[in-house]
Structure 1
Amino acid sequence: MSNLQFHQFRGTEGYVASRALQDVVNVAIALERPLLLKGEPGTGKTLLAHHIAEALDMEIILWNVKSTTKARDGLYTYDTVQRLNDARFGDGDVKDIRHYIKYGPLGRAFASGKRVVLLIDEVDKADIEFPNDLLFELDEMRFHVLETDEWVKADQRPVVIVTSNSEKELPDAFLRRCVFHYIDFPDEAQMRAIIEVHFPDLGVELMGKACKIFFGLREVPGLRKRPSTSELLDWIRVLLASGAKLPEGDVPSLESVPFLGALVKMQEDTETLSRHANRPADVRTAGRRFFS
């Protein structure tokens, strides 16, 4: 591995990355393999790609995958409708098919002429064959344009970041080609560091109360969607903008938490919290006690 070039990604001022995450990013860049990121929603998988691009001073190209996305969409499309219209109305040079070839995100990353960050976001939303259909292109960093019989090849391999929320199992052949990392949810110490990045003047008392309530909510059993980091930051932003005060004491009641809807986004979870709050104290306790 002596010939590998390690970029020293160490996070940015706006992204607090654990040492394990820093290391795996640098390994993926050095090996020139896609970095597959998993983790519960709100752990910063998508945001990480933006900050890798910032730290390495690279352009980022986004490919937001949907249930209808096909691998070919990322390569190029041939605009036959525009060519037909041009042929009918005499606009444009219809003989040059290249004018009607439009690159997708993967195609633009290959054709950019410089190294870029390519984010393939939520790859598991697409059909199960979608990752397999990209194996050749991600291995060879080139693809064939059938209409012009030309090959588009990357001069420099892009830094490929792939995110997944584990909605579907990914094929083994695709996994073998990736460097994998599961982003653990931040513990309280790391969460405080993240909050300080976004709210450097936040008081110690508010920081402590907000973290206690937030982590207490996450520990309540039965929640379908536990509050995420982004929701905690939104909640703190609302608290600061409104001037609302968090309840005093070690064991706040559910009703005393202001703007709970910024943290809890599902009616089912609101009902779960209400049921949990009305249970006996020995049943309510889950890790740290939250409800009175």
Structure 2
Amino acid sequence: MTDAEWLDTPDRSDGRVYVMPDDLRFAVRVALATGRPLLLRGRPGSGKSSLAPYIATQMRWRYYEHVVTYRTQPRDLLWSFDSVRRLADAQVTVRRGQTPDDASYVEPGVLWWALAPHSARRRGRPAGAGITDPCPDPFEEVNTTRKPDRAVVLIDEIDKADPDVPNSLLVPLGSHRFTVAEIGREIRTERPEGAESEPFEEEGQGHRARHLVVLTTNEERELPQALLRRCVVHVLPEHDRAMLVSIAEEHMALWPGEVTDADRDLADAVAGELMKVRQHADKQGVRRPSTAEYLDALLACRSLGIRPGDREWQLLTKNVLIKPQQMAGDRA
């Protein structure tokens, strides 16, 4: 594999590949049928964050994501308001005898874009208003060719946020509406432009929801019970050897070059070695390597001609499957 081909290898989060077990597919259908958010639990690297872009790609729905941090504020997913810039501009406009347009300082969040993209582009101004500063879709490159009235939103690592954040989302997620305080306008789901059959609905059975919100948690912090009650909850299991190989085959089909029997044998061999590494990690008291790290190890082996048992394999194990910082943390 050349350097150029290596760089062209699709990323696991680009929505092109996902091996979806039947129980997970059913959980998605339930979330769509009920209009409830889908909360994914599981070990880091188990595919929680990859599901949402895959669903959006398969259904050709618009896609948005917000990675939660410890600094995330309750309304960041809905909108933000630049009060500092507004105050500075107000001093100029007042001297001119003008009134600042508060909508100019509104920045729609991912849930606003999902529910009401036309309103988000207008920054909440009423339809027909003259607009000199339309807000660009933050995922416009992806969403240009997708269905304008349907969307998938990924809220990643919701457990990192203060409990005020998930609690503040209960009403918007349940009623699909919220009010932007600074401009005094209610934002609600915009009317659909058409109805089409979707890959995740069974024949003869339509679903109600036009939006799917996917939440993920790494269990760093306990989530409010009120949020859990309002979600369809699914736990992604740790993948066994057979599932790892199935996932690898799907990814290898998109890798540059022909996939050979030797590649499939390599995928199985690396999966077998991963099982051993997991056992070793358990004995050492460090985190078990994930499916994501398995795919990294497989790509490295295929690209660099490494085979399990080689000297390079031992180096790869220490740098890809069991991270040096894990071992250092274990000794500390």
**TM > 0.5 fold call:** yes
Deviation at 1:94, TM superposition (A): 4.7
Match of 2:298 among 236, 239, 245: 236
Match of 1:171 among 218, 224, 230: 224
Match of 2:158 among 108, 123, 131: 123
Residue pairs, 1:177-216, within 5 angstroms: 177-200=230-253, 201=259, 203=262, 204-216=264-276
Q: For 1:62 and 1:78, how far apart are their aligned partners in 2? A: 19
Q: Is the 8 A contact 1:61 1:109 kept in 2?
A: yes
Task: Name the SS of the counterpart of 2:77 in structure 1.
Answer: helix
Residue 219 of structure 1 pairs with residue 254 of structure 2: no
Deviation at 1:224, TM superposition (A): 2.1
Deviation at 1:86, TM superposition (A): 3.0
Which residue does 1:257 correspond to in 2?
A: 314
Task: Name the SS of the counterpart of 1:73 in structure 2.
Answer: coil
Deviation at 1:182, TM superposition (A): 0.1
Task: Name the SS of the counterpart of 2:17 in structure 1.
Answer: coil
Match of 1:29 among 24, 32, 49: 32
Deviation at 1:268, TM superposition (A): 4.4
What residue identity is the alignment partner of 2:271?
C
Deviation at 1:242, TM superposition (A): 1.6
Which residue does 1:4 correspond to in 2?
A: none
Q: For 1:73 and 1:57, how far apart are their aligned partners in 2? A: 26
Which residue does 2:190 correspond to in 1?
A: 155
Report percent identity of matched pairs: 36
TM-score (norm 1): 0.80
Q: For 1:55 and 1:83, how far apart are their aligned partners in 2? A: 41
Q: Is the 8 A contact 2:158 2:215 kept in 1?
A: yes
Tell me the number of residue pairs that the alignment of Structure 1 and Structure 2 aligns.
256
Residue 144 of structure 1 pairs with residue 197 of structure 2: no
Which residue does 1:44 correspond to in 2?
A: 47
Match of 1:16 among 15, 19, 39: 19
Which residue does 2:124 correspond to in 1?
A: none
Q: Is the 8 A contact 1:124 1:168 kept in 2?
A: yes
Residue 105 of structure 1 pairs with residue 163 of structure 2: no
What residue identity is the alignment partner of 1:40?
R
Q: For 1:207 and 1:76, how far apart are their aligned partners in 2? A: 45
What residue identity is the alignment partner of 1:205?
D
Q: Is the 8 A contact 1:75 1:107 kept in 2?
A: yes
Instruction: Answer with 257-266 or 180-189: which moved more.
Output: 257-266
Q: Is the 8 A contact 1:36 1:162 kept in 2?
A: yes
Deviation at 1:96, TM superposition (A): 2.1
Task: Name the SS of the counterpart of 2:322 in structure 1.
Answer: coil
TM-score (norm 2): 0.71
What residue identity is the alignment partner of 1:264?
I
Q: Is the 8 A contact 2:48 2:216 kept in 1?
A: yes
Which residue does 1:286 correspond to in 2?
A: none
Q: For 1:155 and 1:103, how far apart are their aligned partners in 2? A: 15
Deviation at 1:136, TM superposition (A): 1.0
What residue identity is the alignment partner of 1:154?
T
Q: For 2:104 and 2:328, how far apart are their aligned partners in 1? A: 54
Instruction: Answer with 182-191 or 29-38: which moved more.
Output: 182-191
Q: For 2:42 and 2:252, how far apart are their aligned partners in 1? A: 24
Deviation at 1:148, TM superposition (A): 1.7
Higher relative contact order (CA 8 A, sep 6+): 2
Please report the RMSD computed on the Cα atoms of aligned residues, expressed in angstroms.
2.4
Which residue does 1:132 correspond to in 2?
A: 167
Task: Name the SS of the counterpart of 1:180 in structure 2.
Answer: strand
Q: 1:268 to 1:83 in 2, by over 3 A?
A: closer
Q: 1:80 to 1:193 in 2, by over 3 A?
A: same
Q: For 2:46 and 2:326, how far apart are their aligned partners in 1? A: 22
Q: For 2:306 and 2:328, how far apart are their aligned partners in 1? A: 21
Deviation at 1:95, TM superposition (A): 3.0
What residue identity is the alignment partner of 1:99?
S
